[in-house]
Chains A and B, each alone.
Chain A
Amino acid sequence: MAIDSKKIIEIASKLQIASNEKGIMAAFGVYAAMNYNEFYFKVVSRVIHTLGDLKAPTVEQKLYNAVLECGYHTFHGIRTSMHWREHIIPMLSSPEDEVYALVAFTNIFGIGYIEIEELIPNKKLVTIVKNAYDPERYLIEYGKQPYGRCYMFSACTASYMDLAYGEKYPKGIGTFEAKEVSCRSMGNNICRFVAER
């Protein structure tokens, strides 16, 4: 069955992800919080700028790992939720469908629209994002970048494949590794991510 991404986004966006009486947002087995996109950009870009291009990859690798854990655990929480069972599982008939559904579900968190360009089952996933927040900000603040700055989407791309084709949760994390092969911050017209074993 082909996955209807629009329908998944519509279903997902109707979920009430809201703070409880203690001001804490617990959803899908994780604690969520909302913050300004510019806050994240400022924190990370200032660290990178302070470190310089030689040392920056070390911190970006740590941030990639943090997002990988974020994506892996959050998306697992999503795919085991009652909501997923009720509304999404009836649409799924293969691990590939699950990858498409998870990518679609990502499109409610406010991080820019991610979509699949190519999926080779159990081998490779290529995703693209046309409107990530950070690349344009890097261009404005720091000029053209020497390599891609969207570690967040790289790690998400790997996490979908880890969940669909890696060992059973929670052992499959890190089965796939993703790289950003083009980025708007480098002057490309699109951000593109490739996850492979």
Chain B
Amino acid sequence: MHIDFSPELNILKLDNVGVSLHCHHYNCGLIKAIEEIEGIDAYSIIVKAAQEEFYYNFKNYIVSHLSKESIDEQIKVAVELYKFMGFGIIDFSELRENGGKVYSNSSYYVTGWLAKYGRRTTPVCYVTCGFISGILSAIFKKSVSAYIVQETRCMISGNELCEFSIRLIE
């Protein structure tokens, strides 16, 4: 992972793609604001945007840096990327190409949401769902929305881990 900063423009690039740093007040506030709007499916909008961005950017990263690496190595780099961006720890060891489970014992959105709003009864790791879906499609060379990811357990509700169920639909 390589970060470039242009001080004259205040532009940050992660492996040549524009990124920005935001705090939990905004990142969690963004989810909450969208969830509160009647007629808007916050989950779908956030997951789709994350899915697309992680798919396109990781696909390019694979072409530039990982084309000769094994699937396991590509997944290892994806896990490092997730951690580097501050989203937490994620474990793909029980996942196969056609799906399976992914676990997380440290989640940015759980940490941030707890700090700002406290517990909730429904999962909050929407961005992680999009991340998993996009990354897997890039690694296994599928279409952008080939994987359906659902957070089946979330630490925000008092579970020990966040658990994601992944299903290949094409």
**Chain A residues engaging chain B, CB cutoff 8 angstroms:** 6, 9-10, 13, 17, 19, 22-25, 30-40, 42-44, 46-47, 50-51, 58-59, 62-63, 65-67, 69-70, 73-74, 106-114, 131, 133
CB-based contact A31/B24 at 8 Å: yes
Q: Could you show 20 A-B contacts with beta carbons less than 8 Å apart?
A: A9-B10, A24-B86, A31-B108, A33-B86, A33-B108, A35-B27, A37-B20, A40-B22, A46-B49, A47-B45, A50-B39, A50-B45, A58-B37, A62-B32, A62-B36, A66-B25, A110-B21, A112-B10, A113-B10, A114-B10
CB-based contact B7/A67 at 8 Å: no
Q: How many residues of B contact A (CB 8 A)?
A: 51
Give the chain A neighbours of B17 by CB distance below 8 A.
Answer: 36, 38
16 new A-B contacts, CB < 8 A, other than A40-B20, A42-B53, A63-B30, are: A17-B21, A30-B25, A31-B86, A31-B111, A31-B115, A34-B19, A35-B27, A42-B48, A43-B49, A47-B34, A50-B39, A67-B25, A69-B25, A73-B25, A112-B9, A131-B9
A170 to chain B, nearest CB (A): 12
Checking B23, B40, B45, B48 against A73 with a beta-carbon cut-off of 8 angstroms, the contacting residue is B23
CB-based contact A24/B108 at 8 Å: yes
A156 to chain B, nearest CB (A): 10
**Chain B residues engaging chain A, CB cutoff 8 angstroms:** 5, 7-12, 14, 17-27, 29-30, 32-34, 36-37, 39-40, 45-46, 48-50, 52-53, 57, 82-90, 106, 108, 111-112, 115, 127
CB-based contact A10/B21 at 8 Å: no
Cα-based distance from A122 to B30 in the complex (angstroms)? 30
CB-based contact B5/A51 at 8 Å: no
Q: Report, nearest first, the 6 A-B pairs whose CB atoms are least far apart.
A: A66-B29, A110-B12, A62-B33, A30-B23, A23-B83, A25-B86
Give the chain A neighbours of B52 by CB distance below 8 A.
Answer: 42
CB-based contact B7/A13 at 8 Å: yes
CB-based contact A110/B19 at 8 Å: yes
CB-based contact A23/B89 at 8 Å: yes
Give the chain B neighbours of A111 by CB distance below 8 A.
Answer: 10, 20
Closest to A107 in B: B10
Give the chain B neighbours of A39 by CB distance below 8 A.
Answer: 49-50, 53
Cα-based distance from A113 to B29 in the complex (angstroms)? 23
Closest to B1 in A: A34
Closest to A68 in B: B25
Cα-based distance from A22 to B104 in the complex (angstroms)? 10
CB-based contact B29/A23 at 8 Å: no
Give the chain B neighbours of A70 by CB distance below 8 A.
Answer: 22-23, 25-26, 29
Checking B7, B29, B88 against A22 with a beta-carbon cut-off of 8 angstroms, the contacting residue is B88
* Given A42-B52, A110-B20: A24 in contact with B111 (beta carbons within 8 A): yes
* Given A19-B83, A70-B29: A109 in contact with B34 (beta carbons within 8 A): no
